């Protein structure tokens, strides 16, 4: 049995209580068999842990292992040329309508083998792991046919054979309309998206079902058809909603008890209310906001007012958010969206776990997975404050360093 005691640490437990960050100063934490068995102050270490192999952390902060709950990390190629086009004046929507955008990544992803997709993804996964990330959500959505959607999901799952990290997969068949179904989007949903979802589910490749509800993608009616099937299969749903316009996607996600609605710049109070009632997490994505030079802000004050949990994520993708740093994402969430450092850390831990439906991680509590990050800082507020600086000391994944 693997046992370890960490002492002389400031524990940002992220357990919601009256103390900011659920902070335990001069704390200690005991882990065994991949789980946290006890945490508290150094003065109250129960006698059964006192003799364990221990490490003195010299006042360093421990947080829950970070969670990136919205990524498109598996994809072929890159879109640097589009970045340039947008800087020359074209909008994201114009690029998409001209056959660029998501569709150009579909072409690149279809022509990349599963092995190469994994290899390409690992570079970004390593960047996240190097910043204390222990769980990553990865979406399909650049295959848009049965073979390639499944290939993406298998690649996402295969990452866990190469790196110590948890992967949660989302089937995003309703991401864009492939060229072969141009002007035939209803047929795409019936003939490709839904059957591919069923096959992927049969293969155990789907932890959640996602969609892109937008003028340049799918209507609420089309997304609803996908969600009805997902529900029948017992798969939880989430949705890219209100990113470029308000189609009441968040309300739709809430109607299906969605785990999360993501992006949300154009969300209104009615949508916020629906999310609050359904317990749907608001995942906001500062990388896409920044990259697209968006000027409309997600309604953070309304989310606070209605007590909707806020998660943050990189949205790591080759088009709208080529961002592979969760620490920079936390800083951007504070500076761009005015989240407090405490909200930003909750967004990448406790609330990100909620957005993925995980009850076994995201806070430091007895019984939870021993996914932890030890930082060369003395107070957790320092994590969101620095820009482009990584203070990770050590990552603990399932109890292992
Ligand atoms: N919204 C996004 O930000 C990503 N997908 C989506 O529906 C962008 C994907 C891309 O541009 O490749
Ligand atoms: Fe996305």
Q: Which ligand is nearest to the CA of 76?
A: 1
pLDDT for position 99: 74
Render 23-35 in DSSP notation, one character per residue: EEEEEEEEEETTE
- The closest residue, in CA terms, to atom 8 on ligand 1 is 320
- Note the helical H segments in 258-324: 269-278, 286-291, 300-305
Q: Which of 102, 103, 106, 284 to mutate to test the pocket of ligand 1 (most atoms within 8 A of CB)?
A: 102
Question: Do the beta carbons of residue 30 and residue 5 sit within 8 Å?
Answer: yes
End-to-end CA distance of the chain: 15
* Residue 55, burial from CB neighbour count under 10 angstroms (0-12, 13-18, 19+): middle
Rounded distance, CA 401 to CA 399, Å? 7
Closest alpha carbon to 32 in 52, 50, 11, 60:
52
Sign of CA dihedral 28, 33, 36, 38: negative
pLDDT for position 1: 60
Q: Which ligand is nearest to the CA of 79?
A: 1
Question: Do the beta carbons of residue 251 and residue 270 sit within 8 Å?
Answer: yes
Closest ligand 1 atom, CA of 176?
A: 7
The predicted model scores a pTM of 0.98
What is the three-class DSSP state of 166? strand
pLDDT digits (tens, 9 = 90+) for 4-39: 999 999 999 999 999 999 999 999 999 999 999 999
Q: Which residues of 84-109 are buried (b: 16+ CB within 10 A; e: fewer)?
A: ebbeeebebeebbeeebbbbbbbeeb
291 lines ligand 1 (CB under 6 A): no
317 lines ligand 1 (CB under 6 A): yes
**240 Cα to the center of ligand 2, angstroms:** 6
132 lines ligand 1 (CB under 6 A): no
Among 82-91, 212-221, 273-282, 326-335, whose mean pLDDT is lowest?
82-91
Q: Which ligand is nearest to the CA of 223?
A: 1
What is the three-class DSSP state of 335? helix
pLDDT digits (tens, 9 = 90+) for 110-151: 999 999 999 999 999 999 999 999 999 999 999 999 999 999
Closest ligand 1 atom, CA of 315?
A: 3
pLDDT digits (tens, 9 = 90+) for 355-390: 999 999 999 999 999 999 999 999 999 999 999 999
Half-sphere exposure of 254 (CA within 13 A, CB side): 19
Closest alpha carbon to 76 in 50, 129, 113:
113
């Amino acid at each position: 049995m693997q046992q370890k005691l960490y002492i002389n640490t400031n524990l940002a437990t992220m357990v919601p209580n009256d103390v900011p960050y659920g902070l335990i100063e001069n704390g200690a934490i005991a882990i065994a068999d991949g789980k946290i068995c006890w945490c508290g102050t150094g003065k109250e270490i129960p006698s059964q842990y006192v003799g364990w192999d221990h490490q003195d952390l010299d006042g360093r902060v421990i947080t829950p292992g970070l969670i990136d709950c919205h990524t498109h990390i598996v994809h072929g190629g890159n879109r640097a040329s589009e970045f340039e086009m947008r800087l020359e004046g074209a909008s994201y929507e114009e690029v998409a309508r001209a056959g660029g955008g998501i569709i150009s990544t579909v072409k690149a992803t279809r022509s990349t083998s599963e092995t190469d997709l994994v290899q390409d993804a690992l570079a970004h996964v390593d960047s996240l792991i190097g910043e204390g990330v222990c769980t990553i959500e990865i979406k399909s959505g650049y295959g848009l046919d049965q073979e390639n959607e499944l290939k993406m999901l298998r690649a996402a799952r295969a990452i866990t054979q190469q790196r110590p990290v948890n992967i949660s997969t989302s089937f995003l068949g309703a991401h864009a309309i492939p060229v072969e179904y141009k002007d035939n989007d209803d047929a795409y949903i019936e003939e490709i998206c839904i059957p591919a979802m069923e096959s992927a589910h049969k293969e155990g490749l789907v932890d959640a079902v996602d969609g892109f509800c937008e003028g340049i993608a799918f209507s609420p009616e089309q997304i609803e058809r996908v969600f009805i099937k997902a529900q029948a299969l017992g798969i939880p749903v989430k949705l890219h909603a209100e990113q470029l316009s308000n189609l009441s996607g968040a309300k739709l996600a809430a109607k299906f008890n969605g785990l999360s609605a993501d992006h949300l710049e154009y969300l209104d109070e009615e949508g916020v209310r629906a999310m609050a009632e359904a317990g749907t997490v608001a995942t906001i994505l500062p990388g896409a906001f920044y990259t697209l030079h968006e000027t409309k802000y997600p309604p953070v004050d309304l989310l606070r007012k209605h007590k909707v949990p806020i998660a943050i994520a990189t949205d790591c993708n080759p088009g709208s958010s080529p961002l592979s740093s969760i620490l920079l994402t936390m800083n951007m969430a504070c500076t761009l969206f005015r989240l407090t450092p405490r909200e930003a850390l909750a967004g990448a831990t406790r609330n990100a776990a909620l957005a993925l439906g995980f009850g076994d991680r995201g806070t430091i509590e007895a019984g939870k997975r021993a996914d932890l990050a030890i930082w060369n800082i003395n107070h957790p507020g320092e994590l969101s404050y620095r820009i482009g600086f990584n203070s990770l000391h050590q990552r603990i994944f399932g109890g292992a360093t």
